[in-house]
Chains A and B, each alone.
Chain A
Amino acid sequence: MKKVLQITLGIVTSVGGFLEIGSVTTAAQAGASFGYKLLWAILLGTICLIFLVEMSGRLAAVSKHTVVEAMRGRFGFPFFFVVLIGIVLVAFLVLVAELGGIGLSLQILTGIGFPWWAVPVSFAVWILMWKGTFSLIENGASMLGLVTISFVVAAVKLHPDWGGAAHGLVPSFPADQKAKYWFVAVSILGASISPYLMYFYSSGAIEDEWDETYVPINRVIATFGMSLGGFLSMAVLIVAALVFHPKGIDIQKFEQASLLLTPALPKWGFFLFATSMLFACLGAALEISLAIAYFFAQGFGWNWSEDLTPSRDARFCFTYTIIIMLAAVPLLFGVDPIKVTIISMALTSATLPLAIVPFLFLMNDPIYLGEHRNGWVSNTVVAIIVLISFVLAVISIPLEIMGG
């Protein structure tokens, strides 16, 4: 009974924590500009994420090491340091975007510009980290994020052409706007396959004291939680395809995306969108801040746990304190969080090989995983993800320039 509850909670938190400013923005842009045509990118990203999350949970449950600890131990400090720079820089940009997403949500609710919210929002995130436990951050924020289910309600209420949507699950080549099409596709993949999720998930498994008995539970949570989360992203794309695409609205600003739910839910749609984004970005900001602090602490061998008091893991707490403070600075100066989101999603794609190639070696290492090493199915999928990640790394920056 306890395990059933754990599975349910795990799935619910995965669903509630799936959407964030990157996934909503990229899905809304895709639907607005290309109708259902880019649904395949969300499907592909979700499949990749299911495998990566399952593997990072399995590694932690079996070896009692997080991905970062195993990478540092297996490949040494110089290699870890290169990965640290690449991943942390991109994760930092994503954190700026998420804090900005909270600010923008508050801006449309109150009329007070997002730069004014930079300090209060950063302080609120920091105080939740300082005072809160891992369970509060993992479950509390994700439960609030369940309000994002309103995107599914809106999609159903708008009566989409389900046949057309199913057609969008198959990759197609656009007749025009090719650079923009591929850039949005790359951004969707960058928003879906976020390396910080792997680090957060494996650290969470250690925080929750998983052991080998959790391997099947981990598989169920990763598969169902991420699949249902992927459905949420698809719902955003479908609603944008029905609401914005026929009107020719190209999403460039948050204010435009804020109209997403109003045609389907005229009375509550605007407030549901604002609160969905508020909670989704809050959950993501907490997870990314933690993931960055985990990365430093685990790589440098410091004490770390969100459940310890700050006096017992001072360097871990100092890291997220500094990171959150720094992330508030660009927002104070009015840097547009949507632009940061778009750039960070493309850069996430560009840095994927740094995160995934060493992970493939780790998942085949008998010292860490013994009999739970990857089978041929998982290895084939990771090899495909590595291939995709190399292609994305090469094309993402030129596409960013050409796709506008």
Chain B
Amino acid sequence: MRLKGFLVISVLGIAACKSPTPAEQMDSIQSWLATAEMVGDGWLRHSTPDKYSRQTLELSHETLLQISSDLLKAPPHSVDSASLDSVLTRSRGEVAQMARLIEAKDAPEFGRRLDSLRADQKVVKQLSDSIESRQ
């Protein structure tokens, strides 16, 4: 009975302790930005249908919003939180705008937003690398 209690407490303890680190959150942000970029590229090349592309961009936007708000509650000391907030807000905006542009079928503007998103991805990657190198 004692052993059972110990095991239950251990498992719950591990579960409670396991919250994502800032580096893991940055990895997640990069993953969803890359997903949005890949969907955007697919839509421009007519490889993915409109509904799927729009819904996946919306999902990327929601997930990015969730992760970045969690991350910015306790921003890592190794990066400037203002520039992190700025690039995350900007890239989320690009993703949300791309989802709207699919409905409007505005491929040229969509392409410009996609290029901006790619530029933001590079900035996020640099910030992520600096967080990982300080850990």
Please give the residue numbers on chain A whose beta carbons come within 8 Å of chain B beta carbons, in ascending order: 108-111, 247-250, 252-253, 255-256, 258-259, 262, 266-267, 269-270, 397-398, 401-402, 404
Contact of B34 among A110, A247, A266, A398 (CB under 8 A): A247
B47–A250 contact, CB under 8 A? no
- Tell me whether A259 and B49 are in contact (CB under 8 A): no
Q: Is the CB of B18 within 8 A of A270?
A: no
CB distance from A385 to the nearest CB of B (A): 26
The 8 Å CB contact of A255, one of B34, B45, B56, is B56
Bound-state Cα–Cα, A15 to B131, Å: 45
Given contacts A401-B15, A404-B20, contact A256 B52 (CB under 8 A): no
Given contacts A397-B11, A398-B14, contact A247 B52 (CB under 8 A): no
Q: Tell me if A401 and B14 are in contact (CB < 8 A).
A: yes
Within 8 Å by CB of A259, from B27, B38, B59, lies: B38
When C-beta atoms are compared, the residue in chain B nearest to A267 turns out to be: B47
Complex CA gap A5/B44 in Å reads 46
List the 8 closest A-B pairs by CB distance, nearest first: A111-B51, A247-B34, A250-B31, A255-B56, A262-B47, A266-B47, A248-B30, A249-B34
Q: Which of B18, B34, B48 interacts with A248 by CB under 8 Å?
A: B34
Chain B interface size band reads 20 to 34
Cα of A108 to Cα of B59 in the assembled complex, Å: 13
A-B contact pairs, 12 of them (CB 8 A): A248-B30, A250-B27, A250-B28, A250-B31, A252-B31, A255-B59, A256-B35, A258-B56, A262-B47, A270-B47, A270-B52, A401-B14
A255 to B49, CA, bound (A): 12
B78 touches A (CB below 8 Å): no
Question: B42 contacts A270, CB within 8 Å?
Answer: yes
Measured CA separation A253–B38 after assembly (Å): 14
The yes or no answer to B55 lying at the interface (CB within 8 A) is: yes
**Are A249 and B52 interface neighbours, CB within 8 A?**
no
Find the residue from A109, A248, A249 having the highest chain B CB count within 10 A: A248
B66 to chain A, nearest CB (A): 12
Beta-carbon contact of B42 and A262 below 8 Å = yes
Residues of B within 8 A of A258 (CB): 52, 56
- 0 or 1 for each of B35-77: is its CB under 8 Å from A? (1 = yes): 1011100100101110110011001000000000000000000
Flag if B31 contacts A248 (CB, 8 Å).
Answer: yes
B11: A residues at CB distance < 8 A: 397-398, 401
Q: How far is the CB of B117 from chain A (nearest CB, A)?
A: 13
Residues of B at the A interface (CB closer than 8 Å) are 11, 14-15, 18, 20, 24, 27-28, 30-31, 34-35, 37-39, 42, 45, 47-49, 51-52, 55-56, 59
> What A residues does B18 contact at CB under 8 A?
401-402, 404
With both beta carbons as reference points, the residue of chain A lying nearest to B14 in the complex is identified as: A401
Q: Are A249 and B47 in contact (CB under 8 A)?
A: no
How many angstroms from the CA of A397 to the CA of B15 in the assembled complex? 11
A270 engages B49 (CB within 8 Å): yes
Q: Closest B-chain residue to A32, C-beta based?
A: B31
A402 to B24 CA separation, bound complex (whole angstroms): 13
A249 touches B42 (CB 8 A): no
Per the bound structure, the CA–CA distance linking A248 and B122 in Å amounts to 12
The CA of A270 and the CA of B50, in the complex, are separated in Å by: 12
Q: Per a CB cutoff under 8 Å, which of B28, B34, B47, B55 touches A269?
A: B47
Complex Cα distance A109/B37, Å? Answer: 20
Most buried by A among B15, B18, B35: B35
Complex Cα gap A182–B9 (Å): 23
B42 → A minimal CB distance (Å): 5
Contact of B52 among A111, A248, A397 (CB under 8 A): A111
In the assembled complex, the CB of B88 is this many whole angstroms from the nearest CB of chain A, namely 16
Tell me, rounded to whole Å, the shortest Cβ–Cβ distance linking A278 to chain B.
14
Interchain CA distance A253-B34 in the complex, whole Å? 14
Question: Cβ of B39: which chain A residues have Cβ within 8 Å of it?
Answer: 259
Q: How far is the CB of A94 from chain B (nearest CB, A)?
A: 23
The distance in angstroms between the C-alpha atoms of A401 and B51, with both chains bound, is 35
Docked CA distance A256–B39 (Å): 9
Provide the bound-state CA to CA distance between A269 and B34, in Å.
19
Known: A270-B47, A401-B11. A259 touches B34 (CB 8 A): no
Give A250 to B27 CA distance when docked, in angstroms.
8
Having A109-B49, A258-B56, A402-B14, one finds 17 other A-B pairs with CB under 8 Å, namely A247-B34, A247-B37, A249-B34, A250-B31, A253-B59, A255-B56, A255-B59, A256-B31, A256-B35, A256-B56, A262-B38, A262-B42, A270-B42, A270-B49, A401-B18, A402-B18, A404-B18
